[in-house]
Amino acid sequence: MSISKEEVEKVASLARLELSPAEVELMAEQMGTVLGYVAKLDEIDATNIKPTTHVLDIDNSFREDVMHPSLTQAEALANGPDQNGEAFVVPKII
Amino acid sequence: MDVTALTIHAAKDALARGEMTSVELTQEVLDRIDTVEPAVNAFITRTSEGALAQAAQADAMRSRGAGGPLCGIPLGIKDVICTKGVRTTAGSKILENFIPPYDATVMDKLHSQGAVCVGKLSMDEFAMGSGNENCAFGTPHNPWNLDYICGGSSGGSAASVAAGECLASLGSDTGGSIRQPASHCGVVGIKPTYGRVSRFGLLAFASSLDQIGPLTRDVTDAALMLNGLGGHDPRDSTSARAAHEDYTEGLIAGMKGLTIGIPAEYFAAGLSPEVEKVIRHGIAVLQDAGAEVKEVSLPHTEYGVAAYYIIAPAEASSNLARYDGVRYTHRDMNADSLIDLYRCSRSQGFGDEVKRRILLGTYALSSGYYDAYYKKASQVRTLIIEDYKNVFKECDVLVSPVTPTPAWKIGEKSSDPLSVYLSDALTIPANLAGVPGMSVPCGFSESGLPIGMQLQAPHFAEKILLQAGLNLEQGLGIQGKQPALS
């Protein structure tokens, strides 16, 4: 299976990744190889098989709606590369 | 005191008898790290001062009569598990300076029992890899032969235990990342049942597959560690409510009444003859211990890798969206729009393998491809689960190799991602089905590299794994064999 460079660039843009032309070329080749292998799944007819997203038989996991101690604002912001003590700072959006 | 072969249970008894203190034990381990770490490179961050302080607290705890079996025991922690105030990188440049403001639940548990943390261990970036060659902070070396990989992604966790740099460690396993390095480094590793151990504070890779587990020097230690780690956690909504047991209880010699299943698909083409020879010998040992042996089949095994390389990257592409340059450490400060900030920060921070998997996952989930890839893979996952349900009607535990070959040379496979992915063919199915799996040292290759046996059991049947593992260990008599590191 082959993946075009345009497809790699489109997916990279969706994933918010910027790739160099050399990376685009390499990723196109390697993704093509992996997806070619994954096409093995076509050998199986799974039409009426229910998909599994979770392996254990757990439904909703409820708890009492009570407050617990949590992080302080300063702790929550501490790893932000740019913050003003109240919020994370980002470039102007509008 | 020789800390290189010391087990937790032996150390616990020596501490209880007052033959040594935890501070003395910890200092010995720190000295050992000083000696061998330049060759092994198992740690990303060392926490020597903190370790000695924790050891002193553990000694105080013990003198008050408090503290359990892990009290005062020096452990290493895979660098994907949040440790409050101690840098946690996930092996990635994007988290190079990340200091978690909280402890993972497993760390809370270990601290409350008085365990000592000697440092954070090397791993493939975001646990994506099988040789620990995708770490932004260098590749650890196999203590049995420094030219070889120690396995991955929990490579540092396995290498450190084998090299005597801690008594046991924590790893995480999404497609074999505890069992495979354990096999390559000659230590015991357990991936518990999905949900057995809380994932709160484990940096997420693929949430429906990830599980934390211990790597240890013997099976008894694995049981002690599992005792200290498991149990329901309200902070992890996928954590299981199944009763947490004492895994050391009832661990006995003898396999009478237990049937071991030998899955034909795990001994198929591609299995190296020297691995097969070692595993067949291990099976004979279990048979001698009284086990009944039965040939069984899990027909969808060969589709595991294909399903996994849709499901795991799909979940990863979603989980890793949080590394946006805003909240966690690395940011490109020159970006002048928000979109550029995301793009540049992520492109600079992530390594090639992580980018590859984010792209694969995004592709598989993107409009028009979802049914063909993600849905199909999730359906095949159901078939793999049914295989396990069927096979466990016939046997109690599955016995197989962990990997088709012994460890490979560092650098040998780095340009061929698919061949690395395929090396996980025998460990991936357990994650897809959520069943517990374990690697127990079973022998050595002709060139002296360790080879582990994989054991798999039904959900929450870790005790059967441990019993089979203990019988293998006792029957083989290779436990305690050490790599010849200076």
- Torsion angle defined by CA atoms of residues B365, B367, B369 and B370, in that order, rounded to the nearest 10 degrees: 50
* Residues of chain A found within 8 Å of residue B356, distances taken between Cβ atoms: 27, 30-31
Q: B348 lies in a domain?
A: no
Closest approach of chain A CAs to the CA of B475, in angstroms? 34
Rounded to whole angstroms, the Cα distance separating B129 from B155 reads 10
Render pLDDT for B199-209 as a digit per residue (tens, 0 to 9): 999 999 999 99
Radius of gyration for chain B, computed over Cα atoms and rounded to the nearest angstrom: 21
Between CA B196 and CA B401 the distance in angstroms is 24
Could you tell me if B320 and B354 are in contact, meaning their C-beta atoms sit under 8 angstroms apart?
yes
How many structural domains are present in chain B? 1
Residue type, B231: G
Rounded to a whole number, what is the distance in Å from the CA of B299 to chain A's nearest CA? 12
- Looking at the domain assignment, is residue B434 inside a domain? no
Q: What's this model's pTM, rounded to 2 decimal places? A: 0.97
Give the pLDDT score at B360.
97
Distance in angstroms (rounded) separating the CA atoms of residues B405 and B269: 12
- Say which range, A43-57, B296-310, B378-392, has the weakest mean pLDDT: A43-57
Q: Are B74 and B216 in contact (CB under 8 A)?
A: no
Does residue B448 lie in a domain region? Answer: no
The complex scores an ipTM of 0.95
CATH number at residue B53: 3.90.1300.10
- Interface subset of A 3-62, CB within 8 angstroms of B: 3, 7-8, 11-12, 14-19, 23, 27, 30-31, 33-35, 37-41, 43-44, 46, 49-56, 58, 61
- The kind and range of the H/E element at B170 are strand B168-173
For the ranges A81-85, B49-53, B116-120, B304-308, the lowest mean pLDDT is seen at A81-85
- Expressed in angstroms, the distance from the first to the final Cα of chain A is 42
Q: What pLDDT sits at residue B486? A: 53
Categorize the per-residue pLDDT at B223 as very low, low, confident or very high, splitting at 50, 70 and 90. Answer: very high
A79 contacts chain B (CB < 8 A)? yes
pLDDT in tens, B58-81: 999 999 999 889 999 999 999 999
Inside any domain, residue B367: no
How many CB atoms neighbour CB A79 within 10 A? 17
CB within 8 Å: A44 and B300: yes
User: What's the DSSP call for residue B450?
Assistant: E
Give the mean pLDDT of B393-413. 96
Which of B305, B347, B383 has the CB atom closest to A18's CB atom?
Answer: B347
The answer to whether B80 and B172 are in contact (CB under 8 A) is: yes
- Please give the Cα distance from B90 to B135 (Å, whole number): 8
State whether residue A94 sits within 8 Å of chain B by CB: no
Q: Does the residue B417 lie in any domain?
A: no
- Statement: residue B460 has pLDDT above 80: yes
**Catalytic residue annotation of B:** 78, 153, 177
What's the rounded mean pLDDT across residues B227-239?
94
Domain with B178, as residue range(s), is 8-256
Inter-chain residue contact B382 with A27, CB threshold 8 Å: no
Looking at residues B377-402, what average pLDDT do you find?
Answer: 98
Q: CA torsion sign, B246 to B252 to B257 to B261?
A: positive
